[in-house]
Chain A
Amino acid sequence: MRVAEQAPFTIEQFYKHISQGKLLGGRCTKCGKLHLPPRPLCDNCYSKDFKWTEIPARGRLVTYTVIHIAPAQFQSMAPYAMGIVQLADDLKIPGMIRGVALEQIRIGMELTMDYGTCAATQPWPQWPRYYFKPA
Chain B
Amino acid sequence: MDGKSLVSIVSFGLSKFGKLEGLYAREIFAEAAKEAFDRCPKLEPKKDIQALYVGHMGESYEHQGHTGATMADWIGLGHVPATRTEAACASSGAALRIAICAVRSGLSDVVMVGGVEKMTHRPTAEVTEYLAMASDYPFEQWNGMTFPGLYALMATAHMHQYGTTERQLAMIAVKNHYHGSLNPKAHMQKEITLQTALSSRPVAWPLKLYDCSLITDGASCLILTKPELARKFTDMPVDIVGSGQASDTIGLYERKSLTSLAAAKVAGKKAYEMAQVNPEEIDVAEVHDCFTIAELIAYEDLGFCMPGQGGSLIEKEETKLGGRIPVNTSGGLKAKGHPVGATGTGQAYEICLQLTGQADKRQVKDAEIGLTHNVGGSGATATVHVYRRG
Residue of A nearest to B129 (CB): A71
Since A11-B138, A80-B144, A127-B142 are in contact, a sample of 11 more A-B pairs with Cβ atoms closer than 8 Å, ordered by chain A residue number, is A65-B156, A66-B202, A68-B203, A69-B204, A71-B125, A71-B129, A72-B125, A82-B145, A83-B153, A95-B143, A96-B143
B144→A63 contact, CB < 8 A? no
From the candidates A37, A63, A72, A80, name the one contacting B156 in the complex (CB within 8 A).
Answer: A63
Minimum CB–CB distance from B189 to chain A (whole Å) comes to: 25
- Whether, in the assembled complex, B66 has its beta carbon less than 8 Å from a beta carbon of chain A, the answer is no
Residues from chain A with a CB closer than 8 A to the CB of B162 are none
Which A residues touch B140, using CB under 8 A? 94
Residues of A contacting B128 with CB < 8 Å?
A: 69, 71
**Whole-angstrom distance from the CB of B296 to the nearest CB of chain A?**
15
Residue contact B144 to A74, C-beta cutoff 8 Å: yes
Interchain Cβ contacts under 8 Å between A and B, 22 examples: A11-B138, A37-B139, A63-B153, A65-B206, A66-B204, A66-B205, A67-B204, A68-B202, A68-B203, A69-B148, A71-B128, A71-B144, A79-B202, A79-B205, A80-B144, A82-B144, A93-B139, A94-B140, A94-B145, A94-B251, A125-B142, A129-B143
Q: Which residue of B lies closest to A68 (CB)?
A: B202
A64 adjacent to B153 (CB under 8 Å): yes
With A93-B139, A93-B253, A94-B252 known to touch, is A77 a contact of B203 (CB < 8 Å)? no
Interface flag for A70 (CB, 8 Å): yes
Q: Is the CB of A68 within 8 A of B156?
A: no
Chain B contact residue count (CB 8 A cutoff): 34
Question: How far, in whole Å, are A71 and B204 apart by their CA atoms in the complex?
Answer: 12
Chain A contacts for B149, CB-based, 8 A = 65, 67, 82
The answer for the CA separation of A84 and B142 in the assembled complex, in Å, is 14
Q: Could you tell me which B residues sit within 8 Å of A by CB distance?
A: 125, 128-129, 132, 138-146, 148-149, 152-157, 160, 201-207, 251-254, 258
Residues of B within 8 Å of A70, CB to CB, are 144, 146
User: Judging by beta carbons under 8 Å apart, are B202 and A96 in contact?
Assistant: no
The CA of A63 and the CA of B352, in the complex, are separated in Å by 39
Grouping DSSP codes into helix (H, G, I), strand (E, B) and loop, the A interface class, with mixed when no group exceeds half, is strand
Q: Which 7 A-B pairs have the closest CB atoms?
A: A65-B152, A66-B205, A63-B157, A94-B253, A68-B202, A92-B253, A63-B156
Closest residue of A by beta carbon distance from B156: A63
Give Cα A117–Cα B65 distance, bound, in whole angstroms: 36
Q: For the complex formed, measure the closest distance between the CB of A16 and the CB atoms of chain B, giving whole angstroms.
A: 13
A107 within 8 A of B: yes
- Least CB separation from B157: chain A residue: A63
Considering the chains assembled together, what is the distance between the CA atoms of A64 and B142 in angstroms? 17
Asked if A62 is at the interface of the complex by the 8 Å CB criterion, the answer is yes
B-facing residues in A12-33 (Cβ within 8 Å): 15
A65 touches B258 (CB 8 A): no
- B137 nearest CB across to chain A (Å): 9
Q: Closest CB of chain B to A51's CB: distance in Å?
A: 20
Would you give the shortest CB distance from B157 to chain A, in whole angstroms?
4
Which among A66, A77, A127 is the interface contact of B138 at CB below 8 angstroms? A127
Closest Cβ of chain A to B156, distance in Å, is 5
* Complex CA–CA separation, A134 to B225 (angstroms): 59
Known: A69-B204, A94-B251, A127-B138. A84 touches B144 (CB 8 A): no
Residues of chain B within 8 A of A65, CB atoms compared: 149, 152-153, 155-156, 204-207
Interface presence of A50 (CB below 8 A): no
- With A and B bound together, what is the CA distance between A101 and B145 in angstroms? 19
Do A96 and B144 touch (CB < 8 A)? yes
Chain B's nearest CB lies how many Å from the CB of A76? 12
Residues of B within 8 A of A107 (CB): 156-157, 160
| B138, A63: Cβ atoms closer than 8 Å | no
Q: Do B139 and A94 touch (CB < 8 A)?
A: yes
- Residues of A contacting B201 in the complex (Cβ-Cβ under 8 angstroms): 68
**Nearest chain B residue, comparing its CB with the CB of A84:** B253
Bound form: Cα–Cα A116–B157 in Å: 28
Whether B138 and A37, one on each chain, are in contact in the complex, defined by CB atoms closer than 8 angstroms, is yes
Give Cα A37 to B140, complex, Å: 12
Within 8 A of B (CB), among A96-129: 96, 107, 125, 127, 129
Q: Return chain B residues, CB-CB under 8 Å to A9.
A: none
- Which residues from chain B contact A79 at a C-beta distance below 8 Å? 202, 205
Instruction: Give the chain B neighbours of A68 by CB distance below 8 A.
Output: 201-205
A130 interface contact, C-beta 8 A: yes
Complex: chain B residue closest to A130, CB-CB: B143
Task: Kindly list chain B residues whose C-beta atoms are within 8 Å of the C-beta of A62.
Answer: 157, 258
